[in-house]
Amino acid sequence: MDNQSTVCEDFVVGDWVIATENTSYKNLIGVVIAIDRLGTTEHNEENDTDDIHIDFFVYDYPEEYAQEIEQRFCELYNEDVEFYDLSLDDVIMAPDMLICITNLMRENISYLSILQNYYGVLTKT
């Protein structure tokens, strides 16, 4: 992997992440909102790694991809669910289920800011 997206153990609150392929949340993008370190009172005793809390709703998914996510969870739960009814705002995950993409997101956000500020791209009329 390149230095912009890596599986790491040292997440911090505010990191942008993408869920790995080996989870029900595969390819969802989110932000670390809290970390319960192994051995702390807040930590879930059933987990043998740090509990990384992710908000997957912070990313603005295109409608088509949101529908794919919705379908995935409909199949997982074996019932109809709407995308915004899914509990994706505080998902607890292990570090090895996440890939840190913070640097990549910063570069994209910076690039979009430049386009918007200097070229008027993405501005609402």
Q: Note the pTM of the prediction, 2 decimals.
A: 0.75
- Cα gap 52→47, rounded to integer Å: 11
pLDDT of residue 92: 95
Q: What is the pLDDT of residues 22-66, one digit of tens each?
A: 899 998 989 999 999 888 888 887 888 999 999 999 888 888 888
